[in-house]
Structure 1
Amino acid sequence: MRLIAHRGFAATAPENTLQAVTEAAEVADGVEVDVRRCGSGELVVIHDETVDRVTDASGPVSSFTRTDLDALDVLDTGEGVPTLAAVLEAVPAHIGITLDLKESGIAADAVALLSETRQQVTLSSRSREVLAACRDAAPELPRAYITDGSDESGTDAVEVAIDLDCAFLHPSLDVATERVVAEAHRAGMSVNAWTVDTPADAETLAERGVDGVIADRPVSLPESRQ
């Protein structure tokens, strides 16, 4: 079972920072980060549409330049909001990285930043439009459809992922039922479930047959699935 660090293990580190992803890469099989475009056009790593929750400033990410974002203080780390380029450089090439694309219109630019030496990249999104753009920009890169069941049932999500030629389904903990996992597997997809906080959650998901957990902390995985 894969262990993927959600935002660089957001429960134990300052999420989506260089510190978080660097530390997470020491223990996880993969790192997941969120990607948006800032006001000066660069792709940056931050979850929310605004900087309010994680910095000492306020306002939409799209209203800040890269220089502005670099000068902010993310979660009292003294670090600014990193660029995607900086995060890709910080995570060792042998560690998987999942890019959760939070906006439309950024897929091609994200792909353009990927080094030829980086072999394990997955492009993920809740948006069908974004995933379709990922397929157009880089059909060779695996895609993951993220779902929490708010827009469709788990089984419907499998159909959406199939239609988008996804290699992965990323369902929430509650959506990742045995039935959904089995249907995804029959379609040739791997399943990484989120967000996992405890070894008990990981054990439950292992029993349901999931292939990986996207976790907020470095949880212990069931021995039978390590």
Structure 2
Amino acid sequence: MTDADLVVIAHRGFAGVNPENTVGAVRAAASRADRVELDAVACADGTPIVFHDARLDSGPESRGITDGTGTVADHPPETVTAATVRGSGERVPTLDRLVAETAVPLDVELKRPGTSVRRGSLPAAERTAARERWQPFVDRVLDELGDRDVRFSSFCEGALAAVRERDSSVPLAPLCRNLDVGRELAARYDADAIHPSLAAVRAGDVPTDRTVNVWTIRTWHEARDAVASGADGLIADYPGLTRWL
């Protein structure tokens, strides 16, 4: 693979140099990446919000990256979107605002539909219920994205199943820490890609029948290791990490 063939995906809009998951970050990353990755979660009324953590402030699964407080899933959208990210002046956006104000191709990670969810591959008996928990949120996300160039990823089988229930052709990429799980979910939901961790590709036999984009790349030598392991793309926190390949 040459450097020109390698796909660079800006993780949360290159979160190492920009206020993550914001309109400003996506705009800043657009000229230095092939695609931009972002996170989609539901707030109290189901509105899709572009945010990663469970809470606006610090707490379980949360780093305290905004000046807001409380759990995203408990707040209405006007409360969530009033929060600014790390004092940058960039506010937490709704998905529809981000779509309206940017144009770059997106990788959207479906993280939380407002209820508790399970990650990984599920027993057959649990798959329908998992999909149904995700379906209302996934339908709203798809509606708001319209005809945008987008690929959906998730650690949660229910999210992948809900996308497939709605659209048989939209690109999918299971997120995984274990390549066997990624392969299993990719086959089950006809995914064109797998998004494994760097540790997974270092330890495993990287698939050659699907695109493999590796997360989260933070240094030039991690980029080099990912490519040496067979990565087709890098989900990176910083631009310019391919310079020494």
1:165 partner amino acid:
D
- Give unmatched runs, 5+ long, in structure 1: none
Aligned to 2:37: 32
- 1:78 is displaced (CA, Å) by 2.0
TM-score, normalization by structure 2? 0.81
| One of 208, 212, 215 as aligned partner of 1:194 | 215
Q: Deviations over 1:156-209 (max 9, x none)?
A: 43122211211111000010148532xx22xx3100000001121111111122
Alignment pair present for 1:43 and 2:64:
no
Secondary structure in structure 1 of the residue aligned to 2:32? coil
Aligned to 1:22: 27
Q: Which moved more, 1:210-219 or 1:154-163?
A: 154-163
Residue 31 of structure 1 and its aligned partner are, at CA, apart by 0.3
What is the Cα deviation at residue 88 of structure 1?
Answer: 1.6
Q: Tell me, yes or no, if structure 1 residue 124 matches structure 2 residue 153.
A: yes
Separation in 1, partners of 2:177, 2:232? 17
How far does residue 40 in structure 1 lie from its aligned partner after superposition? 3.1
Q: Which one-letter code corresponds to 1:58 in the other structure?
A: T
- Which residue number in structure 2 is paired with residue 158 of structure 1? 183
The answer on 1:89 being equivalent to 2:100 is: yes
How far apart, in 2, do the equivalents of 1:39 and 1:156 lie?
31
Paired position in structure 2 for 1:148: 177
CA distance in 2, matches of 1:68, 1:86: 15
Contact 2:9 2:34 in 1 (8 A): yes
Q: For the residues of structure 2 that align with 1:8 and 1:30, how far apart are their CA atoms? A: 9
Tell me if structure 2 keeps the 8 A contact 1:178–1:209.
no
Post-superposition shift, 1:75? Answer: 1.2
**How far apart are residue 113 of structure 1 and its match?**
1.0
Q: Is the 8 Å Cα contact of residues 21 and 90 (structure 1) preserved in structure 2?
A: no
Return the alpha-carbon distance in structure 2 between the equivalents of residues 46 and 57 of structure 1. 13
Most deviating of 23-32 and 213-222: 213-222
Q: Would you say how many aligned residue pairs link Structure 1 and Structure 2? A: 212
